[in-house]
Copies of this chain bind each other. A is one copy, B any other.
Amino acid sequence: MRRHVQRKAWAGRFADASHPAVEAFTSSLAFDKRLALYDIQGSVAHCRMLVKQKILTRAEGEKILKGLDSIKQELQRGTFPFLPSDEDIHMAIERRLMEKLGPVGGKLHTARSRNDQVLLDVRLYLRDEIAAIQRLCQSLQRQLVRLAKRHAGTVMPGYTHLQRAQPVLLAHHLLAYYEMLERDRARLQQCSERVNVLPLGAGALAGTTLPIDRHYVARLLRFPRVSENSLDTVADRDFVVEFLAACAILAMHLSRLAEELVLWASSEFAFIELPDAFATGSSMMPQKKNPDVPELVRGKTGRVYGNLFALLTVLKGLPLSYNRDLQEDKEPLFDTVDTVKGVLGVLTAMLPHVTFRTDRLREAARGGFLLATDVAEYLVEKGMPFRRAHEIVGKVVRWCLEEDKQLEELSLAEWRRFSPLFEADLLGRLTPEAAVDRRRSYGGTARVQVQRRLRAIGEGK
């Protein structure tokens, strides 16, 4: 009963067939294939609704559902016969359904248009992918927390302007990325709510004259909401842009982590050792061991940003409602999903194998005047205005630079040349560990603060 239906489904009104250059140029099958199973899922729900509403008979519905199931199996097995004349995945499946069922297959498209159908597919797809990305974010967060717990006492220099600034805990530094990912997940979750709206039933642009029940379809497909305006529904790609923007921020976060891994793996920092399995060599230089993974993570930020701007460009100035330009939403979306999943996955796989050289980290936190702020705040405690204290400690630093000394090396007598407020209790303060632990302000780097945060994370707060 197989017959190849080669003529375009919309060809009734046309005298001439499509120019082959047009077929090649306009076909989206190469990339929207990826939506195939979501298309089936949506069609199943649509078909059930048509039966419930008596737009199809029960017998017709059952035939169609059986046909869809058999197509689904072909797709899953990779035996589905795609044709060059298939314009897109929707038409390929409908064509196949008609090959299998004959004219009754032509009843499935009742009361719907590709304009609302494709949106259903994309929303189903993106709903799943957002959940997957959220889980990947959590996996990476879990690795960060594990590392933070392992390095609960490791001291390192905190940086501003890439200059050593104040000692911090490595755990505190790692948890900064935890917080970024926490915001990423929140943004993705809220985006997901706007993805999770049923578009089907908007028809081509204006709804349909047939007595459909959109809320029933929504229930079948677990959409909590149904779109409110059919014109807006088919013209809208906000949910894709919003997802791309959330991913751009996520990619930016990972580019910052990647930059730090690259810096830390350099000979100059030498704060970490990358595992051989996560580094690559050079075709020319036999000694090289390169941090290609974080470099590529950083580089892939470009494509995520680019995808966001690609879609924003597409949408600028488009009149309502559907325009074919909107077909250009899919590749940026798919590439972003793949990229973000890829970078999250590889970082999560790599992080547990990174060796932190705690000796180098602590060493770097010593000297270098990282405790200058502590000294200024010491003077504040003794009653000196902060701005004056800052100035005095600045002068101490300048003097040390001239004398080639470190703060830790000054005698009390030397300190007192700069201010009589300095007393013996100052000297005990001048270790990175003491400096870290005195920063007990909420969210500060003191061990008590970091432990508090780790507990709260453990309790899911």
Contacts and interface: CB of A to CB of B under 8 A. Distances in A.
Interface stretch (A35-43, A68-76, A266-274): A266-274
A212 interface: yes
A434 to B, nearest CB: 10
Interface string A234-264: 1110100110010011001001101110110
Tell me how many chains of this kind the complex includes.
4
A203 B376 CA distance: 13
Interface stretch (A77-85, A122-130, A133-141, A383-391): A383-391
A290 to B, nearest CB: 4
Please indicate which of the listed interface residues A90, A263, A326 has the most CB atoms of chain B within 10 Å of its own CB.
A263
Contacts of A178: 229
Given A328-B296, A387-B105, A310 B321 contact: no
A431 B341 CA distance: 45
Given A204-B284, A388-B106, A374 B209 contact: yes
A247 to B, nearest CB: 11
A16 interface: yes
B303 A394 contact: no
19 contacts: A12-B390, A12-B397, A14-B398, A114-B283, A115-B284, A159-B320, A161-B322, A163-B291, A179-B228, A183-B194, A190-B190, A206-B439, A228-B443, A230-B439, A263-B319, A287-B373, A299-B326, A301-B317, A303-B332
A238 B249 contact: yes
A1 interface: no
A32 to B, nearest CB: 14
A361 B448 CA distance: 41
Given A226-B443, A305-B310, A322 B106 contact: no
A438 interface: yes
A67 interface: no
A153 interface: no
